Chain A
Amino acid sequence: MKLNWLTKILGTLLILMMVVPFPTAAAPIEDFKSPAISQFDVPAGDSTSSTVIEIRADIFGLPISDHEIANLYDKPSVFLQAGESVSFSVLIEEDGYYILSFDSASVGGSLLVPPEGYLLMDGENALVDAQRIVFPIYYQNSTEAFPLDRYGNETLIRQERLIRWANIPLRDASFSQQYPLQLNLAKGEHSFEFNLTKEALLLGSIYIELFSNYPDYKQYLQENQAPDASGFSIEIEAEHPTYKNDTSIRPVNNRSLEVTPYDTYRLLLNTMGGENWDNSGSAVYYEFTVPEDGMYCITLRSIQNFKNNFTVFRRITINGVVLFEQLNEVPFNYSTHWSNMTLGGDEPYKLYLKKGVNVLGIEATSSPYYSAIEKIKKVLIDITDLSLEIKQLTGNQVDPYKEWVISDYIPDIQERLIAIADDLREDQSVLETYNQSGGSQETLSYQMAIDNMMFLAQDPDKIPVLMNRFSEGTGSAAQLLGSILTSLQSQPLALDKIYIHSPDTPPQPFDVPFFTSFEDGIKRFFHSFKPDPYQSIGAEEDEIEVWVNRPRQYVDLLQYITDSTFTKETGIRVKFSIMPNESKLVLANAAGIQPDVALGVSTNVPYELAIRNALKDLRSFDDFDSYIRIYSPGALLSYIVNDSVYAIPETQDFWVTYYRQDILDALGLQVPHTWDEVIEILPALQRYGMNFNTPFSSGSGFKNYIFTAPYLFNQGAQLYSSDGFSTGLGSDESIVAIKFMADSFTLYGMPLTTSSFYDSFRRGSLPLGVSNFTDYIKLLTAAPEIKGLWGIDLYPATVLADGTQNRHTTGSAQACIMFAETDRPNESWEFMKWWMSTETQIDFQEQLILNYGLEYLWSSANLEAFQYLPIPEEHKAVILEQWHWLQEPVKLPGSYMQERELSNAWNKIVFNGVNPRVAIDNAVLIINREIARKMEEFGYLENGVKVKEFKIPTIETVQMWMESDD
């Protein structure tokens, strides 16, 4: 019942916010993506106080905005777009540290990229940390209750932009510091210039005030004296925030009886945050109403069982303000049970709240660990420098029996090592005070890193043979510190409920009786025998059945988007099922229970099904040729049989060069753009035990076309003879290509196995290398210590004798297919077109990130949609450029044998030292035989005589189709 009452309040609030008019005309901003707009609800700095200097927007010299959103702000404001700036000067009356804040509203077109800017003070960068000022975007739920999927489980609510005015203090871009940034200003006149670099912003007044710590709680109580409220208590379910500033904080299901709401059989999204709410600066906000002015308490029902014996922190704000020092960093200890955490503990803090609507903000913060984090970053740089110095002396190959007197060459090495250890010790106490139970991964690793340093300092001459305790390998000081760094920054916490209550009515502790949980366990045990509806096959009569080769999160979202848009618009109903294993497609087809459409199918599957007539020819639909203009032409090549196309690309991969700028700078090297340049810098890299990584090193013994074909394409070699009845590997070009493919490893010593390029790249042992989308996501989301130090560039070019530079790579990842036996071809085609359309793809990729975070980056094969991905523009440009070079290997009956023999030939040359010519001649024989055998099977040959023409598709063929007018 309490819940009902709560939703009513929330609903009323929501409606109140919605009634504000929607922008209609004369909007200088083009696309707001149907935002909801909220009133300006954050108190601006008190301009009457003597310490606050307010710079109103009307002195910026820009036209005052008359935008709808600007009208919600009671002072003048200006509209800034990326590249624009405002300047102003301020007369400071006394020396001191000042903080700056902006009244602003983020109004850019992107749903995901927040506006960013930087601040110049007296013509120079004000502070190192002020080079990137991030203005948050706020998100809110588009509906009130969680939508239910077909099986009664709750799914995430679609998130939408909430454009609101807020007072944004100048903070560091990673929100990791305890206080807003402080500018050291001397008495006198100062000029400021604020530049916007990304997106768009409505900027109101700017405030400058003298920095002072937040008051202590006692002081706060003295300043805010009011009677305690009495007999009042409200519960807010944490999974229903009013708004938030980070989409990765999302409601999650918790299967514990200790949380509400709870259902034995259905998955309810009943808690907020958890592992995904771990970035410093990520905040959720809850609006609530109190009946009268007075002192109130706040209790959070929470759990931190994500990191053993580790204390995480939250910053609590009321109406955007940290009321007193104790609320700036509120600790949450590790616990295995949900518990009611009243702010202040046994003597709850009393907070003064005004009658009416208040906003509670809960922000993840790693600021207590700030000094330790910064120290580790500094130490890591010291270690890298020192290890490079050592490497310069010892080279790569280390003979354990060789004796070094390192101290002759680096005389201060011992002092430097001890200094590093001492540096680390300084912050050890910080970690230990916050994690008193000891035994946390972080404190232990920290101690081990210090021990390593001290051990090495005892006898520095041994360092060359003990590099694995210093900077290389999993137990080295550098690795240990690197992992602590990530770990300290992550502050996970899950919330179930928030109680706002008067001091005399604390929430009742909530224990689950043993029998209840026992009974529930039994019920769930028996329920587990029921079939999983998500994997059931078979659809209703009037539905298209679609199998998806992807995890549940994708399928849920797909079903939701389809039901809410596609089905609504066209009336065609679609049922999605998870396909646990791709081989099921072939078996289902044999059994006659195949779906109408399958999504997420691997690149090599469609061709095999297609030549055996199991798939529908998509080119038989009239609008196919004009439809495929959204793709890279080369991406379709492996789905073509003669003039028919049997699949359309869904996602797309890319192979680009990754480089570590910091290491290249240290070694004085440039990013190589051609293979010749790669080979030129290899000796320099190898001298330091570093190398250039190729996709060949991924570990599998079989090197498929993804790895081998680009070498052939770039040399200008044809995979097959022009009629398609024999291989093209015998040509001179392909021999050159295969020779280079082998030489890279035998002659130039590129690594043959890399267990993880991502790890080696972070560690710096492979500062350069070609890799794909998977590593891109990892580096983007899970490599904080090298953030900003790496970049991507085009795949190294092969330079031909005539000077042409070829950079072809493969790149297909997954495809959509339609089965020939479908009884709804037209509806299915409608669905496929809708699914791959730019609009749907943009929506899908945005919703994925909004719901699940950046880790779920979706690399759509639809080039137009890809341009909207929220990744750095310079990366996007490289990837899109690389996709111009995308070329998939053409398939023909028996071509798998060529892929296989190419791999075997390479293997023979590299491992058995066979002459390339001999290896290839051998392969050519086998390939030709297999092609002939298969051509016979498919009726192109009869007793060795050609009876039917076979067409080899080329990029030009596809381009011709794309350009045709129909």
Chain B
Amino acid sequence: MISTMNAPKIRFKKWLGKEGSAYAFLSMYALMFIVFIVVPVLVAFFLSFTFFDTIRVPKFNGLRNYIVLLTQDDVFMKYVLPNTIKFSVIVGPGGYLLSFVLAWVLAQLPRVSRTILALILYSPSMTTGVAMSVVWLTFFSGDQNGYLNSLLMNMSIIREPIQWLQSPQYLMTIMIIVTLWSSMGVGFLAMLAGILEINPELYEAGSLDGISNRIQEIIYITIPSMKPQMLFGAVMAIVSTFQAGAIGVTLSGSNPTPQYAGQLIVNHIEDFGFLRYEMGYAAAVSVVLLLMVLLFTRLANKLFGSEG
């Protein structure tokens, strides 16, 4: 009798010892994650089916927002989507490749110089906000005192200052350059760590087995040995690329960017949410953004995910 009465208790104790402590440790993070990530995502999902002007009570309107997005939103189809795709295709894989190449090159250096250079390359991603206004805005400033204009005028390449940041034909290119400059973030550090983690004996074994140059080394040994870091880097690159919205607005000084030349999805969401007071529609666009990020992350998973 006694043993049966105590059975659930004992089982609970067992569970507590086995998994309970893990949950206890997890709980703090889980709570934060639920409150600040899960709930907002769910709310946004719910709002995307409503008309909500941030002031009055939301009104349910079914799939209307999504239909409007696909059929009537000129700006989205004409500028925002192409811009976002162009921006992400270049900055995402471009930044990712750049991170890998630089990480690999750094890994070849002796310890001290490697650490210093890694810090130098990593620092732009930490200081983006400040560097943006101090360095890039001055660099691309549209009067003859802007560094680039001044340089070109001194070299007699141009006679009149070019409006780098106001002129639609340059804005996107500059956005891409600046983002690439600051893309050596956490993903880069992870890759550097990944490369350094690889057992040097592998390379020895490889050369015995007939690897003749460094390219082969990279393809057959380095990359396969650091798949987790490659995956992490890829996910970080995708997420940060799609979320990069501030850049065009900061450079051109306004949302919307001139002739929507630098308008990315995030800007479009802000435009509807905070400038046009159509939060429901903005929520719908952000759900689409979420789906896009999810899709590309799955893709990265397929490429680099280690089975089992």
Residues on A lying within 8 angstroms of B by beta carbon are 397, 399-401, 473-474, 583, 586-587, 589-590, 608-609, 612-614, 697, 699-702, 749, 751-755, 896, 900, 903-904, 907-908, 911-912, 926
Contacts and interface: CB of A to CB of B under 8 A. Distances in A.
Interface stretch (B24-32, B114-122, B137-145, B192-200): B137-145
A753 B142 contact: yes
20 contacts: A586-B54, A586-B55, A589-B55, A590-B54, A608-B277, A700-B254, A701-B166, A701-B258, A702-B252, A702-B255, A702-B256, A749-B160, A752-B166, A753-B141, A753-B161, A904-B259, A907-B166, A907-B258, A911-B163, A912-B169
B14 interface: no
A753 B138 CA distance: 12
A697 B161 CA distance: 13
Interface string B9-36: 0000000000000000000000000000
Contact of B275 (A751, A896, A904, A907): A896
Contacts of B168: 907, 911-912
A613 B165 contact: no
B260 to A, nearest CB: 8
Residue of A473, A903, A904, A908 with most partner-chain B CB within 10 A: A904
Nearest to A906: B258
B225 interface: no
Nearest to B257: A701
B280 to A, nearest CB: 11
Contacts of B260: 904
A701 B253 contact: yes
B212 to A, nearest CB: 52
A699 B154 contact: no
Interface string B49-87: 000011110000000000000000010000000000000
Given A609-B55, A612-B56, A911 B254 contact: no
B214 to A, nearest CB: 45
Given A590-B55, A753-B163, A911-B163, A904 B154 contact: no
A753 B143 contact: yes
B141 A399 contact: no
Given A400-B154, A753-B166, 17 more contacts: A473-B145, A608-B277, A612-B53, A614-B55, A699-B253, A700-B253, A702-B255, A702-B256, A752-B143, A753-B141, A753-B142, A754-B143, A755-B145, A755-B146, A896-B276, A900-B256, A911-B168
Nearest to B262: A701
Interface in B229-277: 252-260, 274-277
A473 B145 CA distance: 8
A196 to B, nearest CB: 46
Contacts of A904: 258-260
Contacts of A609: 55
Nearest to A752: B163
Contacts of B255: 702
B142 A699 contact: yes
A751 B143 contact: yes
B259 A908 contact: yes
Interface of B: 53-56, 74, 138, 141-143, 145-146, 154, 156, 159-161, 163, 165-169, 171, 252-260, 274-277
A397 B158 CA distance: 11
B159 A702 contact: no
Contacts of B167: 911
Contacts of B143: 697, 751-755
Contact of B166 (A399, A400, A896, A911): A911
A408 B154 CA distance: 25
A592 to B, nearest CB: 11
A473 B143 CA distance: 12
Given A609-B55, A911-B163, A700 B277 contact: no
A702 B253 contact: yes
Contacts of B252: 700-702
Nearest to A912: B168
Contacts of B258: 701-702, 903-904, 907, 911
B254 A701 contact: yes
Contacts of B154: 400
Given A586-B55, A904-B259, A400 B254 contact: no
A658 to B, nearest CB: 17
A586 B277 CA distance: 10
Nearest to B251: A701
A589 B143 CA distance: 42
Nearest to B274: A583
B47 to A, nearest CB: 12
A905 B275 CA distance: 20
Contacts of A755: 138, 141, 143, 145-146
Contacts of A608: 277
A227 to B, nearest CB: 64
| Residue from A397, A753, A903 with most neighbouring chain B CB atoms (10 Å) | A753
A608 B277 CA distance: 8
Contacts of B277: 586, 608, 612
Contact of B156 (A400, A754, A912): A400
Contacts of B159: 397
B79 to A, nearest CB: 11
Nearest to A907: B258
Nearest to A699: B253
B276 A702 contact: no
A399 B257 contact: no
Contacts of A400: 154, 156
A764 to B, nearest CB: 14
Contacts of B74: 926
Contacts of B138: 755
A697 B143 CA distance: 9
B163 A399 contact: no
Q: A614, A755, A896 — which one has the most chain B CB atoms within 10 A of its CB?
A: A755
Nearest to B155: A400
Contacts of B145: 473-474, 755
B160 to A, nearest CB: 8
A613 B254 CA distance: 27
Contacts of B256: 702, 900
A466 B112 CA distance: 43
B165 A701 contact: yes
Contacts of A702: 252-258
A770 B258 CA distance: 23
> Which 10 pairs show the lowest CB-CB distances between chains A and B?
A753-B142, A702-B254, A700-B253, A701-B252, A701-B258, A612-B55, A753-B143, A911-B167, A701-B166, A907-B258
Contacts of A701: 165-166, 171, 252-254, 257-258
B259 A907 contact: yes
A389 B142 CA distance: 28
A754 B138 CA distance: 11
Contacts of B165: 699, 701
B55 A613 contact: yes
Contacts of A583: 274
B177 to A, nearest CB: 17
A495 B138 CA distance: 39
Contacts of A752: 142-143, 161, 163, 166
Nearest to A689: B144
A583 B54 CA distance: 11
A614 B277 CA distance: 13
Contacts of A907: 166, 168, 258-259
Contacts of A912: 168-169
Nearest to B75: A926
A587 B55 CA distance: 8
A903 B55 CA distance: 28
Q: Which of A587, A751, A911 has the most CB of B within 10 A?
A: A911
Nearest to A926: B74
A396 B74 CA distance: 45
A900 B275 CA distance: 11
Contacts of B163: 752-753, 911
A590 B56 CA distance: 7
A603 to B, nearest CB: 15
Nearest to A751: B143
